[in-house]
Amino acid sequence: MNELFSNRISGVAPSFIREILKVAMDPEIISFAGGLPNRDLFPVQALQKATNDLFNEDGKDILQYSSTEGYLPLREMIAADYKRKGLQISVDEILITNGSQQGLDLLGKVLLNEGDQVLIEEPGYLGAIQAFEVYSAVFNSVPVHQDGMDIDALKETLKTSNAKLMYTVPNFQNPSGISYTDENRRAVADCLLNKKILLIEDNPYGDLRFSGEEKQSFKALLPDQTILLGSFSKTVVPSFRLGWITAPKALMDKLVIAKQAGDLHTNYFCQRVLHRFLQDNDLQAHIKKIIAVYGHQKQVMENAIKRCFPEQVSYINPEGGMFLWVTLPEGMSATELFDKALKYKVAFVPGDPFYVEKRGLNTLRLNFSSVDPDIIEEGIKRLGKVLHELLDN
């Protein structure tokens, strides 16, 4: 059978995280490995009411085929939210996608030829690496630090790279939780300005800020070159698979063709239910609730880390989002730690899959959004025990 597969798919590995999540399914294991929103915050009753109301009022229409671009009133709501944040984006520049993940796939389809270079953050979102690998991209990694992208490394890479696409998650990055400072964003924008390169600002976590100040979007700094991706997965529910892509008109026309060929349109029923939910409920108030819970969970994790981890282990304190990034002492492998931690029934994601090439790294990702505070305490205590055993001898 193998000889029947396309070159395109043969070189793409299955997601390493999916494999880890299988191991972490054991109910006795405390898992910081997932990347899930907290299910206790899903607005179950309000979504049920929106669905019932729609069936009663508009039952036939909500079950029909619809337009590729997406439900216009939903796109209008997205445009209005950008306006509230000071960004002028018209409805014609917004395409509703099957999660923001589909936005990445469509961009790969429309922009990448085999062997084309893509600049990507290191560490970077595994789902973006996988999406562009399917289009046989060649990656140029640029490290990110606590304050954002390494500008010297970016300048150096741009000297030799002919990448036409650069991928970033500037707010509460997956996996590292870091955010680019305003100064760093301006420096990145200066490097890219007037070059033939498009910048993807993937922003699924931007609304989930529990401390610090809101930062400027690349869309404001580099309006003609920025493609913004958004998602309802972390602010409402992920199962609807509703996200969006904003792009200039010429690119949008091509994205619409690619989407037509792929799936005709995003699930219209879910778009209608979500739109109704947003009409009848205060999304900002709902997001405030999420922020309060995640901010607390992050704080509980941080306090436990301070108490339980050896002092040679450091971490980045995120201002929002769902992840906390840990760095072990130089030379210590997080993958080896993972195997030992499983014996203590605690799991996390070792850093390796977030890097395009490097392996055996000393970094790891902890998710705090989907674990209850008392379980976070216990899990970090167990992880601290393993770390002390390894480092105190």
Distance, CA of 304 to CA of 251 (rounded, Å): 47
Least separation in angstroms between residue 203's CB and ligand PMP is: 8
Q: Exposure pattern of 102-138 as b/e (b: 16+ CB <10 Å)? A: bbbbbbbbbbbeeebbbbbbbbbbbbbbbbbbbbbbe
Nearest residue (CB) to ligand PMP, 239 versus 314: 239
Binds ligand PMP by CB under 6 A, chosen from 34, 99, 206, 384: 99
Nearest residue (CB) to ligand PMP, 35 versus 148: 35
Pick the stretch among 98-106, 187-195, 259-267, 281-289 that binds ligand PMP (CB under 6 A). 98-106
Question: What x/- string results for residues 109 through 148 when contact with ligand PMP is judged by CB under 6 A?
Answer: ----------------x-x---------------------
Nearest residue (CB) to ligand PMP, 123 versus 238: 238
Residue nearest to ligand PMP (CB): 99
Q: Does residue 34 touch ligand PMP according to CB under 6 A?
A: no
Nearest residue (CB) to ligand PMP, 169 versus 313: 169
Least separation in angstroms between residue 238's CB and ligand PMP is: 5
Taking CA 287 as the corner, what is the angle to CA 285 and CA 290, rounded to the nearest 5 degrees? 120
Binds ligand PMP by CB under 6 A, chosen from 177, 204, 379, 384: 204
Least separation in angstroms between residue 232's CB and ligand PMP is: 7
Pick the stretch among 95-103, 107-115, 253-261, 275-283 that binds ligand PMP (CB under 6 A). 95-103
Nearest residue (CB) to ligand PMP, 309 versus 369: 369
Nearest residue (CB) to ligand PMP, 130 versus 225: 130
Question: What x/- string results for residues 343 through 362 when contact with ligand PMP is judged by CB under 6 A?
Answer: --------------------
Subset of residues 226 to 245 that bind ligand PMP, contact rule: CB under 6 A: 231, 233, 238, 243
Nearest residue (CB) to ligand PMP, 204 versus 384: 204
Least separation in angstroms between residue 191's CB and ligand PMP is: 22
Number of Cβ atoms within 10 Å of the Cβ of 380 = 26
Q: Does residue 174 touch ligand PMP according to CB under 6 A?
A: yes
Least separation in angstroms between residue 172's CB and ligand PMP is: 9
Count of residues interacting with ligand PMP (CB under 6 A): 14
Binds ligand PMP by CB under 6 A, chosen from 34, 35, 206, 353: 35
Q: Does residue 100 touch ligand PMP according to CB under 6 A?
A: yes
> Which residues here bind ligand PMP, judged by CB under 6 A?
35, 99-101, 125, 127, 169, 174, 202, 204, 231, 233, 238, 243
